[in-house]
Structure 1
Amino acid sequence: MISMQNQQLSLSTQLVVSDARDWMNTICGNHELIVPRQHKLNFQHQYVRLSTNHNALSLGYIEYGTDVGIVNAKTLRCYSLSLPLAGEQELQLTHSNNILSNSNTGLIINPQEELQLNIAGDCKKLHIAIPKEKLEQVLKGLIGQDLKQDIVFDPQMQMDTLQISQWWQQIRFFLDDINLSGAGHLHYFYQEMESLLIKKLLFIQPHNYSAQLKNNLGQNLPRELQFALQFIQQNSKLPIGLQDICDFSHSSATKLNLLFNKHFQISPIQYLKQIRLKNVFQELTQNPQNNIADIALEHGFNHLGHFSRDYKLLFNEKPSQTIKRLLMN
């Protein structure tokens, strides 16, 4: 067994089945690891934990180096989310059809479900473990009441859904940033990172509280913020600015900035930019043969250099790479 801690991602390497199982037990909770006798394990886990707290999120890359099976008998303490970057995995649920997972479909393992996850030897995947207690705490805060039952997610995360794709791209961005800048700065904002990832997941991935969460969101947003969101959605193609948003929502710039940062962790202008970028992405998806510059100008981007930079920051690829990927598929 090798376990190394450095300023970038930590690395755990396990060659013995029991060691690999015990290691992942510390990350996700108790489960069984099945490896065919004649196969040699080469488990690699590059990871970071967002704090030293026992219920901190863990995110990183996992590969086993041979075909394995993971069995959960309702003993996990985390929601385990994974997205293969290479290879495949298959989820076997007791009362449902099997789910094939590859680079187009991520998976969520609900800790309260009996299941087996079969992972191919060539599968390398992004992985994030979210403690059940922490996820429940965030949801309780969002809906304003105690939970009457466990949170149960739809196990499939479809990457052709824009918000799902962005969520996983945000995970990769965090990991790339840690590899580039080190993990030492995490303690300054790890709580914000955890909150952003969990809240966004609860809003974009279907689960048994989704309808209640959506209803509560509309009821709980301040009236000025509701007006601002409506104005931005309806006028994002026009050359609007902060003052236009303030005038429509009958609010000051200071108050709107506070409201947007409280509810979305970004400013009104950043929110407007994200809406425009997402609309460009949707149009490229639907019409990849159209001219990129024309689409960008139509959606309010007058500086194509800035547009291309912002697009890559949000989607982790250039607009031309989006089109190339779509045409190849």
Structure 2
Amino acid sequence: MPPRQSFEKDSFPDLLAHYPLFRSEDVEETQGRVAAVFCPHVLRVAGAAQHLHVQHNLVKLHDTAINFLSYGADVEIDPGRLGDFYLAQIPVAGHADIQCGAQSVVSDVNTASLLSPDTPTRMHWHEDCAQVLLWIEKAAMEHRFALLTGRDPDGPLAFDPSLPQQAGLSSPWTQAVLDLARNIDQHGTHWLQFPAAVASMEDYLLRTLLLLQPHTYSYLLARSAEPARPRHMQRVIDYVHANADTPLTVADLAQIACVSVRALEEGFRRHLNTTPVGYLRDVRLDSVRQALIAAAGAEHASITDIAYRFGFTHLGRFAAYYKKRFGVSPSATLRGEAAERHSSDTRR
């Protein structure tokens, strides 16, 4: 194993820097403030010569919250059982040693950790450790699971605590969480005012975590589902076209169809060669285009606000989706260019 790089406090990446919760060098204050966000726990600085230099930044969504946390010292943390939330811990610098029940995880920029509510946990964050943390409400996770499988879990829903960052099936998920933090740093939290955008982001994070990261009920998700029939899908299609700017998740669409999420996904794949998410995205892109055409020439028209209104939270991906579907950029549509109108109308 190569030697670890020397640590410099000034080298910490301070993500979510515009959303500070607190800064502290006091153990008792830090323990109380962090406990108020997560849960009661024991916090101890390891080594008499070390002193805390805590940075805690926080952005609350709806069923989730994204944090940036560093202690600036070697600390032992013992929360026991988390109780009512899951916690993904994604190092962006340094390393931590995580004990979840009988499993141990050495967490660093290659391997994140995922703590489950009912699994006893102890941690040692090293001085060089800085992490992005995604807090997920337990009830929201269990609700997503029930909608995916058509049943409630029979007991604790516990994830494998080792969560890949750079390679492996779940690594795109951890990168999506980091991407969310960077997107907030770049574009702010204006999009949180748009319910469709928040619902879209959280549905993606919870649903894909259940599908990608091994857990106690992964076998249920691996079972094939009887595909939704066209009449069930038509209810969804009609609803999506009528409500493209409202908060809609795959779970919502499955409830509208009166089938499980897996059955709905299989129905869309079999009959339309797409997914419910892909179909919803295309309808929303069409709605965005119509809104941009209607706003063409308006003095205060905002592409960003229109994208957020229809559930697009990542502006770079939104622009790429738009260009792929219509052959032009959103800004070209907003400018009302004749070439854009001809190109888009020809495609429809």
Q: If the TM-score is normalised by the length of the shorter chain, which range does it land in?
A: 0.5 to 0.7
Aligned to 1:192: 200
Answering whether residue 189 of structure 2 is matched by residue 173 of structure 1, we say no
SS in 1 for 2:23: strand
1:117 aligns with 2:123: yes
Equivalent in the alignment of 2:162: 156
In structure 2, the residue corresponding to 1:141 is in which secondary structure?
helix
- 1:170-207 CA-to-partner distances (Å, cap 9, x unmatched) read 11222222122211221312122111101000000000
Query: In structure 2, do the counterparts of structure 1 residues 266 and 220 end up closer, same or farther at CA, with 3 Å as the change threshold?
Result: farther
TM-score of the superposed pair, with normalisation by structure 2 = 0.60
In structure 2, the gaps of 5 or more residues are: 1-15, 231-268, 286-318, 321-348
> Partner of 1:219: helix, strand, or coil?
coil
CA-based RMSD? 3.1
Cα–Cα, structure 1 residues 158 and 68, in superposed 2: closer, same or farther, change >3 Å? same
Partner of 1:89: 96
The structure 2 residue matched to 1:34, chosen from 38, 44, 65, is 44
What corresponds to 1:21 in structure 2? 31
Q: How far does residue 8 in structure 1 lie from its aligned partner after superposition?
A: 4.4
Q: Aligned pair in 2 of structure 1 residues 92, 184: CA closer, same or farther (>3 Å)? A: same
Sequence identity percentage:
23
**Cα shift at 1:249:** 5.0
2:61 is aligned to 50
CA shift in 2, pair 1:105/1:265, >3 Å? farther
Cα distance in structure 2, aligned partners of 1:160 and 1:173: 14
Structure 1 runs of 4+ off > 4 angstroms? 248-251, 263-268
Separation in 1, partners of 2:106, 2:279: 33
User: 1:146 is matched with which residue?
Assistant: 152
Query: Given that residues 82 and 127 in structure 1 are in contact (C-alpha distance below 8 angstroms), is that contact kept between their aligned partners in structure 2?
Result: yes
Count matched residues: 233
What amino acid does structure 1 have at the position aligned with 2:135? A
Deviation per CA, 1:197-243, whole angstroms, max 9, x where unpaired? 0100000000001110221xx3054368xxxxxxxxxxxxxxxxxxx
Residue identity opposite 1:41 in structure 2: L
The one-letter code sitting in structure 2 at the alignment partner of 1:130 is: I
- Going from structure 1 to structure 2, the CA distance change for 1:81 and 1:141 (only over 3 Å counts) comes to same
Q: 1:75-97 CA distances to partner (integer Å, 9 max, x unpaired)?
A: 4422111121111100124434x
In 1, the alpha carbon distance for the partners of 2:87 and 2:20 equals 19
Cα distance in 2 for residues equivalent to 1:86 and 1:29: 24
Deviation at 1:47, TM superposition (A): 2.1
Consecutive unaligned residues of structure 1, counting only runs of 5 or more, are 1-5, 225-247, 271-308, 311-329
Matched, 1:260 2:267: no
* Cα offset, 1:137, TM superposition: 1.4
Once the 2 structures are TM-superposed, how far is the Cα of residue 12 of structure 1 from its aligned partner?
2.2
**Gap change, CA 1:66 and 1:136, over 3 Å in 2:** same
